[in-house]
Amino acid sequence: MIIRDKNLTSWGNNPVIRSKEYQPYFVEDVSKAIIENSEILATGNGRSYGDCMLNAVSLSTLHLNNILSLSNGVVNCQAGTTLDELLRLMVPKGYFLPVTPGTKFITLGGAIASDIHGKNHHKDGSISNHILSFELINHAGDTVSCSRTNNEDLFWQTFGAMGLTGIIVSAVMQLKDVETSYIRQTVIKLKGLAETFELFASHQDTTYSVAWIDCLSSGKSQGKSVMFLGEHAKLAEINKCLHLAVHKTPKLFVPFNLPSFTLNALTVKTFNAIYYGMAKSEADSIVHYDPFFYPLDSILNWNRIYGKKGFTQYQFVLPPEVSFEGISKALTIINKYGAGSFLAVLKLFGEGNAKAPNSFPEKGYTLALDFPINTKNLQAISELDALVKDCSGKVYKTKDCFSSIPEAIQSGKFQSQQNLRYTGNN
């Protein structure tokens, strides 16, 4: 096991802290590290946006990435395995992830700690609906096997708990059967927020749905969007020799941090106008899963476009009865501060997992926004906090770095017997 001091930061590149990092190659080393320091927190591939993984003492799971078995649509792997690694193995065998976020470069352990969701939450829920069991090491250094029938309370509390219930070392997940690695996609341009909400409501039977929103449009055009709907393509629908082709390794990359002044309301408005203008409504086009689920993964180090000061992603969910009004007010706040986001993504959530008290998703609409870190945008986040609180909404802990809403931490829901505590900036 390697132990070293390093600068530790998230994908948002802010804040940066100094951390004593353990790098175990064997599960037994995880126990040793925890016994040596019970306040240690696990880190994965560093793709969370917020400060949830930042701690004075950390443990990298990246060397614990063995895929132990794949049989009958069930995969058993170590927690440091990335979704990228899983896809390369499972897709040629006719399987796909039951739930995936917007990047495949996260670890399965991190996915459980965040209880990740995707474009299909309204139909398939979050990853907690598809994990069959896992093993974690608790504060005493003991390995605990958890499932829906064994250590059930700890099993459900771990989803969305940000690693505070122990360090996950392996997990078993039910996969999705697919005939091809392609998606039958429908693209629809919408003129405003009302149309966007209407389309979400009328396509609740569609497996995948997501809308990119022009967050700086106003008036009748407020919330104008491009919606993407998708289903896994059947073999009879495609004309491909390699019907179970995996994704390619990305070649494009951002070589250095761009100057902060390149991102401002004018450049965001320009980008949004070009993106919306170039989008074309089309029905039933066939696209590979990679650009459909992971468009940003095609550019390595894309987080550098936000400059040395970094950025934060602010994601919240509002109850369905106040979602339209609340998101309209959120867009008004963003416009007021000129806090434009290249990535403003709206999704519809179904019922949350009632058994998992620390999980973020719950029934309603969720909006995710990327903000360069500056005084103006932090003021916008403060007003968004007040709005989310007034609407009885929630902020996603995995992405939060600056929220002042106490409910964003939800620390009261973690069992104190785990003897692990939150040490981030919230």
Tracing tokens 């353990």 back to the chain, one arrives at 22
pLDDT over 70, % of the chain: 95
Which are the contacts of 8, defined by CB distance < 8 A and separation ≥ 6? 16, 17, 18, 19, 21, 43, 53, 54, 55, 58
Q: Per-residue pLDDT for 153 more than 80?
A: yes
pLDDT band, residue 278 (cuts 50/70/90): confident
Which residues, other chains included, contact 106 with Cβ-Cβ below 8 Å and sequence gap of 6+?
Answer: 44, 45, 47, 48, 82, 83, 116
Pairing, β 57-60 against β 41-43: parallel
Rounded to 5 degrees, what are φ and ψ at 385?
Answer: -55, -50
| Torsion sign (Cα): 136, 141, 143, 144 | negative
Asked if residue 426 has pLDDT above 50, the reply is no
pLDDT of 44 reads 96
Provide mean pLDDT across the span 81-99: 98
pLDDT of residue 296: 94
Instruction: Using the CB atoms, write b or e for 306-318: b if 16+ within 10 Å.
Output: bbeebbbbbbbbb
Residues linked to residue 394 through DSSP beta bridges, in sequence order: 317
Separation CA 13–CA 308 (nearest Å): 7
| Strand ranges (E), 249-406 | 252-253, 282-288, 299-300, 311-318, 344-349, 364-372, 394-395
Q: What is the mean pLDDT of residues 275-304?
A: 93
pLDDT greater than 80 at residue 275: yes
Check residue 409 and give its pLDDT. Answer: 38
In angstroms, the CA 412 to CA 202 distance is 38
Report the distance separating Cα 119 and Cα 123, nearest Å: 9
Q: How far apart are CA 70 and CA 76, in angstroms?
A: 6
**CA-atom Rg of the chain in angstroms:** 21
Give residue 89's pLDDT. 98
For 418, the enclosing helix (H) or strand (E) is none
Phi then psi for residue 307, to 5 deg, are 80, 180
Q: Are 116 and 147 in contact (CB under 8 A)?
A: no
Question: What's the pLDDT score for residue 340?
Answer: 72
Write down the pLDDT at residue 53.
87
Give the mean model confidence (pLDDT) for residues 110-128: 98
Residue 406: its pLDDT value, please? 61
Closest CA to 69 of 175, 179, 152: 175
Tell me phi and psi for residue 175, to 5 degrees.
Answer: -100, 175
Residues present in the chain in total: 426
Cα–Cα distance measured from residue 204 to residue 200, given in angstroms and rounded to the nearest whole number: 6
Query: Are residues 384 and 330 in contact, defined by beta-carbon separation less than 8 angstroms?
Result: yes
* Inter-residue contact 175 to 74 (CB < 8 Å): yes
Please name the residue ranges forming H helices in 233-319: 265-278, 289-293
CB 200 within 8 A of CB 152: no
Question: CA–CA separation, 14 vs 17, rounded Å?
Answer: 9
Distance of CA 2 to the CA centre of its chain: 29
- Taking the C-alpha atoms of residue 184 and residue 229, their distance in angstroms, rounded to an integer, is 8
Checking 414-417 for CB contacts under 8 A at 24+ apart, the result is: 414/157, 414/161, 414/164, 414/165, 414/358, 415/153, 415/154, 415/157, 415/165
304 pLDDT exceeds 90? yes
Task: Identify the band that residue 64 occupies on the pLDDT scale cut at 50, 70 and 90.
Answer: very high
Pairing of strands 67-71, 74-78: antiparallel
pLDDT band at 225 (very low <50, low <70, confident <90, very high): very high
Q: What is the pLDDT of residues 158-217, one digit of tens each?
A: 999 999 999 999 999 999 999 999 999 999 999 999 999 999 999 999 999 999 999 989
User: pLDDT tens for residues 8-37?
Assistant: 999 999 999 999 999 999 999 999 999 999
